[in-house]
Amino acid sequence: MTASDIGIIGMGYRVPGAIRTNNDPIFDWLHAHHTEGDDLFTGYKTRHVLSEGESVVDILTPAAHMAIDDAELDPGDIDLVIGCVSPSTYIVPSDLFLVTQRLKLPERTQTIPLANDFTNFNVALELADAMVRAGRARHVLIAIGGGWTRAVDYHTPQAVSAADGAAAAVVARTLPHRPPRWQLVDVEVFAQEANFGDMYLIGDRRQVRPDPGAGEGPQSEDWSGPYFHITEKGRKDFSSFGGETALIAVKRLLQRQGIAASDITFTGHQASQALLDLWRKALAPGAMFQTIAELANMTVANIPVNLCRLQNAVTTPWVVALGLAPDMHAHALLLRPPR
């Protein structure tokens, strides 16, 4: 481990005000029908969800302002923005550019959207740290927002987990009067790309009755979604990948650094309480931090929101944050917590 004067110097998060409980009418069909895989998605009591007319950008922009203020900076100090808005309004351009616009960042500020859901924050922190270390940027804003309550089909079991949220962080060199919230120490990735295509977000083409005399053609098709799909193979393999294989990344990280699991606080992707329980049992961390009952699965925002809430409550020397992605790669961060 090497000492570093680079870290997260400011953080902020925002979740929508509307709350959806397990008894919400949107889940009526799922309550009335058994669906394959519904035993995989457990542990949720409430979810914060975007209201009609509200967008991910509407919650990510104030979260970013909070992070910039927490870092004691002005928007004009930001050199680079890395992150994601998922799903975005358009395929291209990303809504992350709209966040940059609303923050009124300088014209020289570069914006880099990431599309590696759901490990966007982990990768963004790794890149931001490298850019500051290389002298290519002074202050990097990481901005991550998820609105997946609008990207699930409420006739599929994964829909019960969906929630919305946003978080932001500023990465820079630390100063005596500006201690870090978090410092990145090490990274480990485990990729199982044989599962590419078993989980995906896509619009669904469906046939509709054309107007009389219209014949075949674009008028006889319509599109729904885009919605998140999990194939039968994806459901089966995710249980073993998420519950067992993904922890290889964490164990390699700890072994390389000579750190015992009992010395870490673990926080990870909040797909299901069943998954979190498997991790707790297999890893036996000193502490585990989760918000799944209250905030459910905020997809891309799980880890940064949890780090915002955890920063004043760590009792272990280290924190590990484990992200999972639909192509079935795991990305683990080793962080030095606030002192």
- Can you give the pLDDT of all 339 residues of the chain as single tens digits? 455 799 999 999 999 999 999 999 999 999 999 887 778 899 999 999 999 999 999 999 999 999 999 999 999 999 999 999 999 999 999 999 999 999 999 999 999 999 999 999 999 999 999 999 999 999 999 999 999 999 999 999 999 999 999 999 999 998 777 789 999 999 999 998 888 999 999 887 665 555 555 555 444 456 677 889 999 898 888 888 888 999 999 999 999 999 999 999 999 999 999 999 999 999 999 999 999 999 999 999 999 999 999 998 999 999 999 999 999 999 999 999 987
Do 139 and 190 share a structural domain? no
Same domain, 93 and 155: yes
Q: What is residue 243's three-state secondary structure?
A: helix
Q: Do 74 and 139 belong to one domain?
A: yes
pLDDT of residue 9: 97
Q: ∠ CA(107), CA(113), CA(119), 5° rounding?
A: 145
Q: Dihedral (C-alpha) 158, 294, 15, 85: value to the nearest 10 degrees?
A: -30
Q: Establish if 221 belongs to a structural domain.
A: no
Number of domains in the chain: 2
Based on the fold, state whether residues 93 and 111 are members of the same structural domain: yes
Query: Is 77 found in the same domain as 150?
Result: yes
Q: Are residues 82 and 119 in the same domain?
A: yes
Tell me whether residue 97 is in a domain: yes
State the residue range of the domain holding 126: 6-173
Residue 159 belongs to a domain with what CATH number?
3.40.47.10
Whether residues 108 and 189 fall in one domain: no
The predicted pLDDT at position 114 comes to: 98
Based on the domain organization, do 37 and 75 belong to the same domain? yes
Backbone angles phi, psi at 81, to 5 degrees: -120, 125
Residue 98: Cβ-neighbour burial (10 angstroms; 0-12, 13-18, 19+): buried
Same domain as 314, residue 294 = yes
Retrieve residue 204's tokens.
């669904």
